[in-house]
Structure 1
Amino acid sequence: MQSIGERLEEARKRKGVTIREAAEATKIRGDYLNSFENNNFQINVPDIYVRGFLRSYCNFLKVNSEKVITDYNAELLGEAKAAKREHREFFGRMELQHTPLVNEETKSAPKGTATIDDDKLRAEEEEDEKVSFLDKIDKEAAIKIGIVAVVAIMFLLVIVWLFRTLTSGGIDDGPQANTTGLVPTQQTASAPAETAPAAATETITLIATGDVRVSVTERNTGKVLLDYFPMVAGQREAIQKSGPVKIDYTAGENLQVEIKGTAYGTGKTGQNYSTIP
């Protein structure tokens, strides 16, 4: 069975392009593509970027991206199981190291030599058992403390995520509301006093003022309208949406959103997101 890297390399050669040409077409660094074809996905970037790069590269090569992402997830799961097994074996070796050795049977002492004090020997054995027991308790306490710390961190992250979700706003249908921090970049003519009822779907336009990658997801259905799409300065991309959407971007300073003829800046820099109702 071919690995992910072998499938990507075969598809690229079948398409008749070099790594450099593929990198220019997909806006993905050539060394990342070369690592993918060598079945190496440890490229020192967050996992969400690895998935996005793989999906974009598969779409460029006309390869089934869903199958590749599924195989990538399976490979990550296998690595996690191997790490867990190695962790368990490591603690098993620690227990073996703390297991006291069986005392050899003492030989009868020859005449004229001092005999071993049984009470002293028993006291030493009890001391060794006590030290071993304390070491075991320390190890179990450390494991429990580690588990509690991980759970506490995860709980804190969930609270932060819920707080950001509840406090993050969006742009109202009217051009004056701007609760997500998007900043109008140009002003259009005033709308008439009475407007027609809003349609079931609405078109928004993404405008790139520099290099940026954008993902657009419907909040109500989870449907992905744009998946980690690369854009360059001057590029426009129209999106048909139904209901509120979340826009994730890698460089907020290089993105504008045009809504009903008005262009808005994100008001943010670097990797971030905005919500539009």
Structure 2
Amino acid sequence: METLTIGDLTLTWLNGGVTNLDGGAMFGVVPKPLWSRKYPHNDENQIELRTDPIFFQLDRKNILIETGIGYGKMNAKQKRNFGVREESKVEESLQQLGVLPEDIDIILMTHLHFDHACGLTKYDGDELVSAFPNATIYTSRTEWGEMRNPNIRSKNTYWKENWQAIVDQVKTFEDEIEVVNGVKMVHTGGHSDGHSIIVIERDGEKLIHMADIMPTTAHQHVLWVMAYDDYPMDSIAAKQKWLSEGVKDHAWFTFYHDAFYRAVKWNESHEIVESVKRIR
């Protein structure tokens, strides 16, 4: 498992599974001759996208960012449509760190689309139960509202199977919240109306987890947004703000979906100057 240390904090990427989605959808109006130079695709025009949560410990708390694609949550048709070639092994990854699902205290959910939220619940026999029964789950109030009452477009990605068993664990916020010392969630909108990013500052170092505002390093260009984004102009505005701020502050940018990079630092010329690569 790959790790990144900032200040006194060590982040570890877990195995949350993998999807393979249409490259055209992932890059929206960007022509294939352009995006294909930045990110590889298979013969079906699909690109590999990890769904790997990030684990860290702070203030005697065990904390997760996102929860993975889940295990045993999808039927054969869903696996085919979403290109799920590998389901989640988050529990096994945690065991390697000496941590049980019951030990997780906090989960930071940037948004609640199925590829981030399927890991929140699991089957116990025929019943869906919380996968992390002792955790407080943070997400924006807007996102939690849409999760439970999706519209005609979003109902395909907000699944009742992912929220009904965890209702009592959810804590919401409006604009931003400091969950623990130096760890902040900021509501951005864009990819979804309730989408948030995570900003961590420790010992003078900074990390920005842009989630699906910037799902891969190939999406660094501020105009390269997904066809999946509900509010693309908000995605563009968020990238402009946070990329500029992060580069100026020499911040790390971390990724949940990128199949090749876990984290990078960019300079003002948009070149990668430091990175943590995924071991393939």
Select the structure with the greater relative contact order (CA < 8 A; seq sep ≥ 6). Answer: 2
TM over 0.5: no
Query: Taking structure 2 as the reference length, what is the TM-score of the superposition?
Result: 0.23
Bigger proportion of residues as helix:
1
Query: Taking structure 1 as the reference length, what is the TM-score of the superposition?
Result: 0.24
Structure number, greater radius of gyration? 1
